[in-house]
Amino acid sequence: MSQRVVVGMSGGVDSSVAALLLKEQGYDVVGVFMKNWEEEDDTGACTAENDWRDVREVCGLIDIPCYSVNFAREYWDRVFSYFLKEYQAGRTPNPDVLCNREIKFRAFLDFAMSLGAERMATGHFVRRDEAGHLIRGTDPGKDQSYFLYMVHQEQLRRSLFPVGGLTKTEVRRIAEERRLPVSRKKDSTGVCFIGERNFKKFLSEYLPARPGDMVSTEGETVGRHDGLMYYTLGQRRGLGIGGRGDGRSWFVVGKDLEHNRLLVAQGEDHPLLYSSLCLAEDVTWVGEAPARKGETFRCTAKYRYRQPDQPVEVTWEEENLLRIRSLQPQRAVTPGQSAVLYDGERCLGGGIVTRVLDAGKISI
């Protein structure tokens, strides 16, 4: 009897090809569509319904059963509530990271096991070895290990990533050759539950905006902001103060939550945009920790998706605290985002940046 694998299918080309490849390899494949969000987009259309239709069509073509499961409540409790709290605290969260830990590799994995599966599978561009280590995807432009660093080794051992060893071009070619209807479907972008809708409008429906002053590093009020939650460190677009100052572009360099002021400076190389030292909490190791508490080790890090690897020294100071020193100054390290650590092709784990310690001080 063939091994049963439950595939998390989003209606996109990657998860569709993942299901197809497993079917062709002789697995007993079941496709499951996860609905994590209940609301319509700006046009009044429920995009989940369109994706669910695509899942059903693909599953019909490759002759596998399919189901839909609703995790909207779990998503709200475990991911979205955290998302809102982070914005209220002035940080810029990455809900996709938490969604993988709490929904796809916890709630969904449990559901897959309840269907009698021995493995679950996704369309992520990552790989794992036999020991359950998380390995980068073959396609460097699509590698998604940054978003899976919170997934533990035991969860990875029960997971398959059929497209992790392929490039995106190869995935689309396979879909076209097998005449899957999603072969040319556009990749989804934006925050997982927001999609491509207007982010500012969406966020304003859940958090009250508090407009305030934009203040330069010299203490001059140069404009007004719509609410600190709408801005992130290093942001240039949407400030609306291009005609002020010496003609160079303005950038967000900090937030003064106490006085509700957005701190801005001119020049993309302004010193306040760069730092070499940060603290990260909510520490997760994919497998065994690379050092004991109190020890310092060297590896590489990414502070945002698709950033080239940066050499760092990491001290595991406490159970839930990392001190990360970059060997070269880093631009716009942002509280709320993840610092993900690597040893070559292997993802070690990481944490969420809570403080940037040496980006300079502003006295205004």
| Cβ neighbours for 5, distance < 8 A, ≥ 6 positions apart | 22, 27, 28, 29, 30, 117, 118, 119, 120, 121, 160
pLDDT at position 2 is: 86
- Considering 192, 278, 299, 347, which one is annotated as catalytic? 192
Cα–Cα distance for residue pair 48/45, rounded to 1 Å: 9
CATH code: domain 208-268 is 2.30.30.280
* Ordered DSSP codes for 234-267: T--TT---TTSTTSSPEEEEEEETTTTEEEEEES
Q: How far is residue 171's CA from residue 187's CA, in Å, rounded to a whole number? A: 12
Whether the pLDDT of residue 41 is over 70: the answer is no
Residue with tokens 């010193």: 271
Confidence at residue 188, expressed as pLDDT on a 0 to 100 scale:
73
Q: Are 90 and 73 in contact (CB under 8 A)?
A: no
Give me the pLDDT at residue 363, please: 44
Helix (H) or strand (E) holding 56: helix 47-62
Distance, CA of 199 to CA of 172 (rounded, Å): 29
pLDDT (0 to 100) of residue 192: 61
Would you call 133 helix, strand, or coil by DSSP? coil
- Whether 189 shows a pLDDT value over 70: the answer reads no
Asked if pLDDT for residue 44 goes beyond 90, the answer is: no
Q: Give the class (CATH, top level) of 274-356.
A: mainly beta
DSSP letter at 40 equals: -
- For residue 247, the one-letter residue type is G
Q: What is the pLDDT of residues 131-159, one digit of tens each?
A: 889 999 999 999 999 999 999 999 999 99
Q: What's the Cα-to-Cα distance from 266 to each of 131, 160, 303, rounded to whole Å?
A: 49, 47, 23
Q: Residue 155's pLDDT is what?
A: 95
Q: Is 66 a catalytic residue?
A: no
The pLDDT-based confidence of 359 (bands split at 50, 70, 90) is: low
| Amino acid occupying residue 146 | Y
Q: What is the mean pLDDT of residues 200-212?
A: 90
Predicted pLDDT of residue 147: 97
Confidence (pLDDT) at 364: 44
pLDDT in tens, 265-305: 999 999 999 999 999 999 999 999 999 999 999 999 999 99
CA dist 161 and 145 (Å) reads: 11
pLDDT of 244 higher than 90: no
Give strand pairing partners of 133: none
Q: What is the distance between the alpha carbons of residues 275 and 359, in angstroms, rounded to a whole number?
A: 5
pLDDT at 203 over 80: yes
With a threshold of 0.75, does the pTM exceed it? yes
In the predicted structure, residue 101 carries a pLDDT above the cut 50: yes
Kindly state the average pLDDT of the residues 23-27.
97
The domain ranges of the chain are 4-177, 208-268, 274-356
**Lowest mean pLDDT across 75-79, 92-96, 189-193, 356-360:** 189-193
pLDDT band at 202 (very low <50, low <70, confident <90, very high): confident
Q: How far is CA 282 from CA 111, 311, 325, in A?
A: 26, 21, 17
Query: Catalytic residue among 59, 99, 278, 299, which?
Result: 99
Asked if residue 225 lies in contact with residue 235, where contact means CB atoms within 8 angstroms, the answer is no
Per-residue pLDDT band for 31 (boundaries 50, 70, 90) equals very high
Whole-number pLDDT of residue 8: 97
Judge residue 335's burial from the number of C-beta atoms within 10 Å of its C-beta, 0-12 exposed, 13-18 middle, 19 or more buried: buried
**Cα angle value 315/318/321 (rounded, 5°):** 70
At 155-178, the pLDDT tens digits run 999 999 999 999 999 999 999 999
pLDDT tens track for 291-349: 999 999 999 999 999 999 999 999 999 889 999 999 999 999 999 999 999 999 999 99
Q: How confident is the model at residue 245 (pLDDT cuts 50, 70, 90)?
A: confident
Residue-wise pLDDT tens digits, 54-86? 999 999 999 999 999 999 999 999 999 999 999
Q: Which band of pLDDT confidence, cut at 50, 70 and 90, is reported for residue 40?
A: low
Please give the DSSP secondary-structure letter assigned to residue 130: T
CATH class of 4-177: alpha beta
Is 99 noted as a catalytic residue in this protein?
yes
